[in-house]
């Protein structure tokens, strides 16, 4: 049960779910990726043929599967946070496990895609499209792996004695994971579908 001071801060602008710091990080990350994607679109005007041909070499099915996996993972995590908030820690742990599994499948598919690109000779330095492709999807993958580590630690702490994981920390981890979803929803249409 919440005490009065906790209830008052949780509804305040400077205390959004997970705390203001995680939201500042999210805003900076989304702006950074947004600017990079805008630069990619602007760069495509210089050589639209190369961008179009390179985009056709991507596996849209893998990109779509990864989109669905991240959305499903985010959904499971949202339900997990709701379950823990309502006192059902065991259900929350199971849902976080499902979220982690979906995230690991994302990493596996992205690794298979990267392997295919390397085997076909499509490296960071092949052309401007692939420079953006590798940098944007690579930095996103680093965020996903970081998010998976956060979720794994939170899952472990949920299994410990009462009070090991504070709700604000669980919400912060969930907000970071949802940021990974959001960034991928920005990357996927621009890289896999636009050119």
Q: How much is the pLDDT for 1?
A: 31
Q: How much is the pLDDT for 83?
A: 94
Contact 195, 168 (CB under 8 A): no
DSSP 3: -
Q: How much is the pLDDT for 86?
A: 92
pLDDT tens digits for range 93-129: 999 999 999 999 999 999 999 999 999 999 999 999 9
**Which structural domain, as residue segments, surrounds residue 124?**
4-194
The CATH number for 65's domain is 1.20.120.80
pLDDT tens digits for range 144-167: 999 999 999 999 888 775 567 788
Contact 37, 136 (CB under 8 A): yes
Residue 67's contacts (CB-CB under 8 Å, 6 or more residues apart) are 184, 185, 188
Residues of the chain with pLDDT > 70, as a percent, come to 90
Does the pTM of the predicted model rise above 0.85?
Answer: yes
Q: How much is the pLDDT for 152?
A: 95
pLDDT at residue 79 tops 50: yes
For residues 63 and 106, give the distance between their C-alpha atoms in angstroms, rounded to a whole number.
9
Angle CA 78–83–89, to nearest 5: 120
Q: How much is the pLDDT for 2?
A: 39
pLDDT at residue 175 tops 90: yes
pLDDT tens digits for range 14-66: 566 677 888 899 999 999 999 999 999 999 999 999 999 999 999 999 999 99
Calculate the average pLDDT of the chain.
89
Contact 168, 19 (CB under 8 A): yes
For residues 115 and 125, give the distance between their C-alpha atoms in angstroms, rounded to a whole number.
16
Q: How many domains does the chain have?
A: 1
Mean of the pLDDT values across residues 120-143? Answer: 96
């Amino acid at each position: 049960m919440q005490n009065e001071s906790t209830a008052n801060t949780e509804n305040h602008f400077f205390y959004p779910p997970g705390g203001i710091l995680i939201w500042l990080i999210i805003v900076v990350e989304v702006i950074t990726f947004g600017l990079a994607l805008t630069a990619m679109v602007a760069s495509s005007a210089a050589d639209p043929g190369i961008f179009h041909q390179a985009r056709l070499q991507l596996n849209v099915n893998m990109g779509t599967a990864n989109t669905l996996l991240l959305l499903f993972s985010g959904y499971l995590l949202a339900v997990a946070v709701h379950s823990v908030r309502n006192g059902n820690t065991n259900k929350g742990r199971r849902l976080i496990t499902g979220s982690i599994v979906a995230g690991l499948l994302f990493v596996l598919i992205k690794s298979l895609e990267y392997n295919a690109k390397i085997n076909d000779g499509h490296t960071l330095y092949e052309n401007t499209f692939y420079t953006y492709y590798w940098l944007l999807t690579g930095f996103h993958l680093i965020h996903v792996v970081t998010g998976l580590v956060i979720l794994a630690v939170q899952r472990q702490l949920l299994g410990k004695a009462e009070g090991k994981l504070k709700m604000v920390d669980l919400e912060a981890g969930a907000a970071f994971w949802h940021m990974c979803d959001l960034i991928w929803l920005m990357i996927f249409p621009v890289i896999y579908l636009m050119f």
